[in-house]
Structure 1
Amino acid sequence: MKSGSYSNESGSSQNKINKRLRKHTRRLTHLSYSSERVINNEQYYHGLLPRADVRLLLKENGDFVVRITEPKPGEQRSYVLSVLHDKLLEENAAVSGKVALIPLSVYFPQVKHLVIHSANQKFWIDNTFSFESPQALISYYLKPAVQNEETAVVRLLRPISRQPWELEHEWITIKQKLGQGAFGEVSMGIFKRKGMIKGVQVAVKQAKLEKMGKEQIKEFMCEARHLKTMSHPNIVKFYGVAVLEEPLYMVMELASNGALDSYLKKNPNLPVETRNEMILQAAWGLEYLHSRPVLHRDIAARNCLYGDQKVKISDFGLTRTGSTYQMDMNKKVPIRWLAMETLITGSYTQKADVWAYGIMCWEIYNSAIEPYPGMSPAEVHQKVREGYRMQIPVNVHPDIQKTIQSCWLENAPDRPTMSDIATQLQNITQTPRPNFSAI
């Protein structure tokens, strides 16, 4: 038996844990609490749910979920029991003897992440009992007054069920490949959860973990985390993610015309009035994001969808909560859409989103050709810092040209907000603002 039976997922305080275990190690006893059901059928099992999402689900002392670790080269994946722990309440519980207890060798504040170790088809957390399945282990520790010799304890009180946005693979039928995304294939599919009389057509992003690095997995789940809280006509509608098995699925509304950049390239003769509508709709969507507040950080025509004559902002893998963010400029970044201050310092604010929005407007009026045509990324970097700005086509309304050009002012505070831009475009195009709260 390995000595790390009490280790938390990150391996912190491992030396203290091993020291205690060397003092208290005893023969492992196997308890026959078998279960015929696979763990996927347990509502407290959340698959590849990241820690950031787990923390949002656990509200009260004793709330818990079971999940699985991300794949790492050469390492076996493990189930993890994540439980919210309150020390003061736990001390009171130990006196009462009326709750189920799981031993911990070291006290960790907030959420505990306990690895469920496995070998020879047996599962265990402490060095005393093993079980025939993870769910048998959970059932045992949920029993009242289950005690252990260890002095530090954490209790299981309430299993937290999967949320409405956590989908099951069997609810999703893949029909036709639409294209290739950042994480894998994007397909048209049918989504029909339990209780739905008729399925709906959806777009499904598929992600195969063996082809994804840790950063890509983080982006995939980050996108889902942000989308599940959003509701706006100019933001892509989100149905949920399926992360109980592989490949992972992200399920969203299907835009009839697909990606905005592809639609623009296929329809180079679109009237300028249609393009005016596109930039206004995108402004409404980005205004909504900034009101939350979040930074999109990847505004571009390729990251918007178009269907039913509506632009919908999508691709939220780089989105971050808040109004400022410090970028790592050593990573791959979309140079052609970055603001001057971001190119220089890596600092990203809402005004950098405004700059990128201006670049996207230029794309929309130029049928999605690449910004700064004929320039290499290095040349773009240099030229922008020297003050170069692209020209807006002459057939665009002069006041709209001024609005777009104001997005590229050198001093970020001088640029308009997205609310300013939306108001300006509404006035120029004489378009009444919809009552978004009623939609």
Structure 2
Amino acid sequence: MSLVASHHDLDLAVLERLSVATHAVGREIVSECPPVAGSVVLATCNRFELYLDVVASEHASDVRAAAAAVVSAHTGYPAEKVAAEVHARLGIDVAEHLFAVASGLESMVVGEREIAGQVRRALTAARRDGTTTSELEGLFQTASRTSRAVEADTGLGGAGRSMVSVALDLVEDGLPAWPDVRCVLVGTGSYAGASLAALKSRGCRDIHVFSPSGRALAFAEARGVHALTTRDLASALPDVDLVVACSGAAGAVLQADALAAVRGDAARPLAIVDLALRHDVDPEVRSLPGVRLGSLTTVSEHAPDEQPPPIEVARAIVHRTAADFAAGQRGRAWNPAVIEQRVRVLGPIERASRASEQGGEGAVRLRAERRRARAALHGPTVRAREAARVGDAEAFSAALAELAAVPAPELPGLTAPPRDEGLTKRTSARRA
């Protein structure tokens, strides 16, 4: 199941609050809620989503309440509000939603490319925290493959504008020509990389990087730009045209009073784009003379409403892939019952074949029994697996009953106790 909160339904301030301590939340849900075998937390600037491997769907209500309590304990947000503001998804809806998210179909800016990397990193974080499971691995890896398929078949990621691009569009009118823009980039994470690429694509050449965590030098050297220390940042700000902030540091990197002090009475206009969910920039800077501030809220308000032409094709790919994924999951969950019946019928024949040293008539009889048994099992096996693929529980039960009605062969004089019952069962299951 999944618990989803996004920009479609909630203010960014609420999402910011929910996204505090995401890794601790994932770990605690697994450790404190027995029905939850694993978790992956996807927290971005416009969504907070929990993907949970729950042992049985009847526990969904209890899991939702337990997850809300864990989130509340870390955020201070009332548990009843958390439970009310996250949407629970089950079954195929979980896969279809995540695949759409990874493909950029649920973003503020449809077709944005950054989200695919965020989905991959969410799975990596869960692996590091020890909270992933084979089911969640399969779900998230399929989401990444779906994202690549959507991009390959529709070009949506190339056609769609990222949030960085929309933000730069909003401040572009007040800037010098891009080759003359002096820019400070705050942050060294994935959004900083996307922002740097967007700036360079527009022709911006004078780019300096500052990192509150001290990683600016390595980031800058790897990308051919300049690094700033804290002292350098203060001296550079009076002559800067644009600040793009996306570090997500705890607390504002640029405070209004500090910025006012270093700018003095400078008349040089300054555009600031704050793409951090937790605000790298004190919102009060917009009151300073000559300063314009754009944020994620601004991007949300100005994100294009029109759907790019490939959108329907992309959604069809997502729907089809989610259906195939759900069919595969059902097959893996339901198939052991089919295998059990096939082993019950075919197992004695295989054991007799290995145990018997007879040739001639005995071997002929065993081959005949094998053909008869396989013929009797074939029809209900096909019907059971097709029912599992489409999720028809009633048809599956009927086919399973047919398999159970196929009698095990009687092989007097040809059977012998197997040497290794475990090995026999495993071999028979593979052959079945």
TM class by smaller structure: under 0.3
> Larger C-alpha radius of gyration, 1 or 2?
2
Query: Which structure carries more relative contact order (alpha carbon 8 Å, separation 6+)?
Result: 2
TM-score normalised to structure 2 length: 0.22
- Greater share of strand residues, 1 or 2? 1
